[in-house]
Structure 1
Amino acid sequence: MERLQITTLTAQDISGALLAATYTADAARELLINLHLSGLAGGGAYRACLTRQIAGAGAAYQSPTSVVAVSAGVTTALLSTTPLAVNAGDVVRVYAQGLAGDTSAGVVVEVFDVTAATAGDVQTSVAISAAQAAALAQNHIAIRFFYAVSITITSTLANDLASAGSKLYLAVKEKESDSDEAALVYIERTEGLLRLAKLPAADPTKGSLTLGGAAGAWTILFWLDQTATGSLTAWKGNRYCEVKHVPAAGDPLLVTTGKAILSYGIVRATS
């Protein structure tokens, strides 16, 4: 989850419906909005609602109203809206309404993207296509549907990941507990793309792992063709990712685990 915007107002009259904040979407997102109220009269129902204006023009469509009952003597309230899907250019307005005595309330509005990954340490070698880059937490990967993906994962393991007869796998799974056979993406360094969208991959050349560096300073380049990423749209959201090494003899080694963030990139023309 990522906070996109915060609006702070003081001494506001919310005895009638007050336009408390306006947010203009810059991309397709799923929004959750928190409305914090303070300095309230209390002893009644407080309301919050949203309107969505598609592409910033035409009618403003009202969402269901969120209501919280505030007891007498209580001066603060928090209302959270139901998630709202928006596209780039949509305008969302947030309204607050209190009681007759609420003529000088404090209002704080937070707009969150519930599908976004929380920012962490930036791994600057991560890239989505030649023209884009993503700031991701360490050991996380991002897959955008209908984009080719090229991501470098680094490891300080002292083990010999290039040992003769060994296998190196990357798996993206819907859930951590899923088997390799149920993987959304399953790639081996010497065999290419083995599974895609939980099925055997039709073309192993559509994905690859390339191992570089040496013990203590490995680099693992993960590549997936844009036609392959387009097969994953049913699993939009934060998924699980792992890289593991299976030596010719001995136990498998988990190299790293993290999130795989699957999201929409471009819309393909259908005609």
Structure 2
Amino acid sequence: MGQTESCCCKRSQNAGGNDASQSPSISLDVLGNQYVTFRSDQQESFLIRSMIFYSKSSHRIRDMANNTWFRMEGPNAKETGVKHLILNTDSVHATLMRIDEITWKIVVSRELRALVYKCVRTNQYCIRVFSPPYPPEDYGQLILEEVVPDVVLEGDYDNMSMSFLLYDSEDVFATMERTADFQDSSKGTGWRLLVQIAANVDVALVLLTCICVDAMEREPELEQDSFDKVKAPNGKRNDSIDTMDKGRKSSVPTLWDKGHTPRVVKEI
């Protein structure tokens, strides 16, 4: 971490939408919860609603088989800049904090675990991952121009089609793309984000980063205040999962087994 190279050094731009099939060469379990790690052979895909951060509603985050992993809560995030990621044990797993238009903190147990930000020179979204001993959540000595990121997001920002890459390699370990647009003539429009994550990656880190980037890209729309009222074509309020049937819903254990995801394990 002790490098001085600017975060704004130019990288080759790779198109978004690559398969998230490659486990990263460094550990990305910075949020530190044993119940949200992957089995070594298993990828996961999620479909989350756009503008979750600024919504007043509680939103469940579920995978494509309709299994609930987390829920996002914080009805006053538009004013406070704070949203919580809750486990299905009702425990707060991580807190997402909006510092300004281009800087967000991910905090666990009052410790700063990751910084999500937009490089003002290259316009790239980046993630800085911290190592133990973690700085306190109010750590404010970072100058973004001097921060070397651990992860960069490359692709088509306008269309929300991006790949997560380790900064010093070509490892693509997650992808995000806009999908499943919907429209309601009386309530406005919206979309969802398809997030695919490789094995051995901290799910929460990727999902929270997607929520940050989505919020930054759509922040100019806040004055319209329509995102919190959007309903799906079936008349129901949108949740974090698409209305299409993606698979059989499984029973998620209250306390996940260490090293396993909520996805049901088929009996042989």
Please classify the TM superposition score into its range, dividing by the shorter chain length.
Answer: under 0.3
TM normalised by structure 2 equals 0.27
Greater fraction helix: 2
Q: Which has the higher contact order (CA 8 A, sep 6+)?
A: 2
TM normalised by structure 1 equals 0.27
